Amino acid sequence: MMFPPRVVCFSTLMVFAIAVSARCLAGVPMNGLTEAEKRGGWKLLFDGKTTNGWRNYRKDGIGDGWVVEDGVLSRAKGGAGDIITTDQFKYFELSIEYRISKGGNSGIMFHVTEEGGASYHTGPEIQIQDNVDGHDPQKAGWLYQLYQPTKPEWAKKFESQVGFKGIEMDDATRPVGEWNHVYLRISPKQCETAMNGVSYYYFRVGDEEWNKRVAKSKFARWDGFGKAGKGHICLQDHGNLVSFRNIKLRVLGDDGSVADPIDGKLPLKGVPAFPDLKWEGWSAVSEEGKVKPIRPMILTHANDDSNRVFVASQIGMLHVFKNDSAVTKAKLFLDLRSKVQDWAKDNEEGLLGMALHPNYKENGEVYLYYSSSREPRTSIVSRFRTSKDDPNRADADSEEIIMKIPQPFSNHNGGSIAFGHDGYLYIALGDGGGRNDPVQHGQNLKTWMGSVLRIDVNKKEGGRNYAIPDDNPFKDRDDAKPEIFAFGFRNIWRLSVDRKTGTLWVGDVGQDLWEEINIVKPGGNYGWSIRESTHAFNNNPATNKEQPIEPIWEYDHQVGKSITGGIVYRGSRLPELHGKYLYADFVTGKIWALQYDEVAGKVVKNLGIVSGGIPVLAFGEDEAGEVYYLMESATGRGIYKFERTKRSAQKNDKTN
C-alpha cells in the first residue's frame, strides 16, 4: 500500500494489459456519462484519451510510467509516481473503476495536499489490492487502518427475524483481471465507501470517532493527516500494474446537496382529492390508544361506467366511494384485517396489491395480494367476488386462494398485481429480502422470487387454481418456473400497465446506490443481483444466457433512496402530463414526470413536479385516466391529486 515501489517487469505488465479486455461494465458508457448522470451534475475526470486534469504529486507534469491506451489509464511501468487531480475538492462523490494485477496493490486518496513529504501524510486512502494473492492485511475497499465493511443494522434485523446468518464482513471485490467499481462520498453529513455497489461503511471526517481511529493508526505521526478539509484526489503508484477508467466526480454543495436530475419543472402542486372523506371502519387511534394512520396502497376503478373509486389500505381494508371531490363517506367493501399481517409489525408486509378483473362488470371478481398473519412469511394471491345483493360490498366468504408464495424474509415482498391488455394477471415480486440477495434469488429461475409472474386466472390446470399462458417465455424450460414472465428484480414497488399501449412499467427499489425504472419485456433479465440498475453489483458471476436489459431511467441515492413506481398519465384534465410516467421517491417525497420515447427507446425529459415532502406510497388511476398519489395519513386525507399552481392556472386561462 504505502511502501517503496517494487521493481516489476514492464513486458509482463503489457502482456497482462493486452490480455484483459477493456470492455465497459454493462450499461455504463466507456468514459462517458449516462443520461441520469449528466442531469445529476456528474463530470468526467478522465476523458479516455489523455491525462488532462492530472499531474504527478508535487510536479507539473506526469511520469512516463502512466500510459493511456484503449480508454484505460494504467500505471504500467517505472517512472510513474503518484498522480493527483489538478483541481482540489472539498465535498464530492467519486465513482471510479480499477483493475488490479496478480498480487498487486494501489490506492485512491482524497484531500491530499502537497505540504507533506508524501501524499499519504495528508490524504486518507481507500485500499486497492488483489485480495487473494495480495500481502497487505488491509483489503480492497477498506479505508486504510481506519474503517472496514460493517453490516448495517437493518440487515441484522431482517436476518434475526428468521434465524438467518449472513456474511458479517463483505468482500465484494472481483478477481484479478476484472474491473471493480469504487464509490466514495465525502460530505458534511455522512461519508460513505462502496465496493461494486455494496456499501462498506459510513464515517465522518474529523468527528470524535474518526479522531479516535486516526490516533490508533500509523497516520497519527503526521499532524496534517485527514485535516485539510479540501484537497486533491490521488491515484497511488505502488510499483504494480493497476488500471483505471470511468473516473467521474460530482461536486457537492456545502450542505451536501446535489442537483435534482431534471430538465425543468411543471407548475403543478398536490392537493387533497377528497378532503372530506371518512373511512368506514377505520379509526386513527388504536384500541391501545396509539395513533394508527391509514396507508392507502392501491387506488383503482372497476371500468364498469359506475365512476366509483376502489381503495385498498395496507392494514387489510378495501373501501369504495363515488368519484366526487365532495364525497364524504368511503364504504367498507371488504375487511381482511384478521387475515392480513399488520404493517406496524412488519413495514413491508400487509395488503399490497389489488386488481379488478377486466370483466368485472359481469363477474365481480377482485384479486388481492396480501401477507398472511396466519401463515408467517407467506404471501397469498386470492380471488374474491362482489356480493350479489350489494355492488359496494365483497363477499368475505368467497375467497379462493390462487397462489401461496413463501417469503424468506419480511422485506422485499413486492406485491403489485395488475391485469395486462392480454387478460392475464401480472404479479410483481421482490427477491425475498435481506441484504445483497443473500440466497441468490434474483438470477435464479427456479424460484418465483425476484420476478414478474404471469398467470391465466380464467382457467385451472395441473392442479393449480390458474393456468400457464401458452406463450409464457419459460413455460417449456426445465430449469425455470413456468409462471415467470421476466426476472432479475430486487423489489418492484410498484407495477402498472399503460391503459393506452399496454406497456408494463415497474419501479425497482435499489439497495445502496441506484433506483431504476424498467419497461418489462417477455423473458427479460433485469440484472439484479449481478447489477444494480446499469451498474455492476457485488461479485457474483452471471449464470443466465439472457443478457441484462437496461432500465430506461435511473437516479442515485443522493437524489432519493427508494423509488415509488407510478403510472403513465392518460387523463384529460392536465394535458401537460399526457403520456408521461409519473413516479416518486418514498424517502424524499419528490415527484417527477418522465417523458419517454418508446419508439426511439430513450428518455426525452425528466420533469420535476413536487420537490419534496411527505413520502409517496403509490399512485392510482380512476376510470377517466386521472392520476392520484397516495400517502400515509392520520387524518384520513391520504389521497392527493395534481392541480396547476395559481400562476400557471391564470396563464392557462388567458391562453384559452
What gap in Å lies between CA 607 and CA 539, rounded to an integer?
Answer: 35
User: In this predicted model, what pLDDT tens digit does every residue of 492-512 receive, in sequence order?
Assistant: 999 999 999 999 999 999 999
Residue among 397, 398, 405, 355 nearest 380 (CA): 405
What gap in Å lies between CA 354 and CA 384, rounded to an integer?
Answer: 11
pLDDT at 6 over 80: no
The band of 592, judged by pLDDT with boundaries at 50, 70 and 90, is very high
Instruction: Supply the pLDDT for residue 157.
Output: 80
Residue among 485, 335, 340, 493 nearest 413 (CA): 493
Partners of 584 in the β-ladder: 564, 591
Arithmetic mean of pLDDT over the chain:
92
Q: What is the domain class of 286-562 according to CATH?
A: mainly beta
What gap in Å lies between CA 545 and CA 484, rounded to an integer?
Answer: 16
The band of 653, judged by pLDDT with boundaries at 50, 70 and 90, is very low
Instruction: Supply the pLDDT for residue 146.
Output: 98
Q: List the chain domain ranges.
A: 10-251, 260-275+563-656, 286-562
Residues 22-35: what's their mean pLDDT? 68
Tell me if 630 sits within 8 A of 639, measured CB to CB.
yes
pLDDT at 27 over 90: no
CATH of domain 10-251: 2.60.120.560
Instruction: Supply the pLDDT for residue 410.
Output: 82
Instruction: Supply the pLDDT for residue 20.
Output: 35
Instruction: Supply the pLDDT for residue 24.
Output: 41
pLDDT at 13 over 50: no
- pLDDT higher for 655 or 607? 607
Instruction: Supply the pLDDT for residue 159.
Output: 81
Query: Which cell is 569 given?
Result: 398519465
User: In this predicted model, what pLDDT tens digit does every residue of 188-207 receive, in sequence order?
Assistant: 999 999 999 999 999 999 99
Poorest-pLDDT segment among 66-70, 180-184, 289-293? 289-293
Residue among 438, 349, 449 nearest 406 (CA): 449
Query: Which cell is 533 given?
Result: 440498475
What gap in Å lies between CA 431 and CA 388, rounded to an integer?
Answer: 39
The band of 655, judged by pLDDT with boundaries at 50, 70 and 90, is very low
pLDDT at 281 over 70: yes
Instruction: Supply the pLDDT for residue 10.
Output: 32
Residues 474-481: what's their mean pLDDT? 95
Residues 328-348: what's their mean pLDDT? 92
C-alpha to C-alpha distances, 627 to 268, 317, 578, 608, 642, nearest whole angstrom? 13, 21, 11, 16, 8
Instruction: Supply the pLDDT for residue 647.
Output: 64
pLDDT at 23 over 50: no
The band of 288, judged by pLDDT with boundaries at 50, 70 and 90, is confident
User: In this predicted model, what pLDDT tens digit does every residue of 71-91 receive, in sequence order?
Assistant: 999 999 999 999 999 999 999
Q: Which residues lie closer than 8 Å to 353 by C-beta, 6 or more apart? A: 297, 298, 312, 367, 368, 369, 370, 381, 415, 416, 417, 427, 428
C-alpha to C-alpha distances, 69 to 72, 75, 237, 563, nearest whole angstrom? 5, 11, 18, 39
Query: Which cell is 242 given?
Result: 493497476
Residues 360-386: what's their mean pLDDT? 96
Laid out side by side, the sheet with 618-621 consists of 268-272, 639-644, 627-630, 618-621
Residues 409-426: what's their mean pLDDT? 94
Q: Which residues lie closer than 8 Å to 424 by C-beta, 6 or more apart? A: 454, 455, 456, 457, 469
Residue among 511, 609, 498, 637 nearest 562 (CA): 511
User: In this predicted model, what pLDDT tens digit does every residue of 345-371 receive, in sequence order?
Assistant: 878 899 999 999 999 999 999 999 999
Instruction: Supply the pLDDT for residue 298.
Output: 98
User: In this predicted model, what pLDDT tens digit does every residue of 436-452 receive, in sequence order?
Assistant: 998 899 999 999 999 99
Poorest-pLDDT segment among 3-7, 62-66, 273-277? 3-7
Instruction: Supply the pLDDT for residue 649.
Output: 53
Instruction: Supply the pLDDT for residue 111.
Output: 98
DSSP state of 120: G
Residues 292-299: what's their mean pLDDT? 95
Residues 514-528: what's their mean pLDDT? 97
Residue among 569, 592, 626, 583 nearest 300 (CA): 626
The band of 16, judged by pLDDT with boundaries at 50, 70 and 90, is very low
Whole-prediction pTM value?
0.92
Instruction: Supply the pLDDT for residue 17.
Output: 36
pLDDT at 588 over 70: yes
User: In this predicted model, what pLDDT tens digit does every residue of 35-57 receive, in sequence order?
Assistant: 889 999 999 999 999 999 999 99
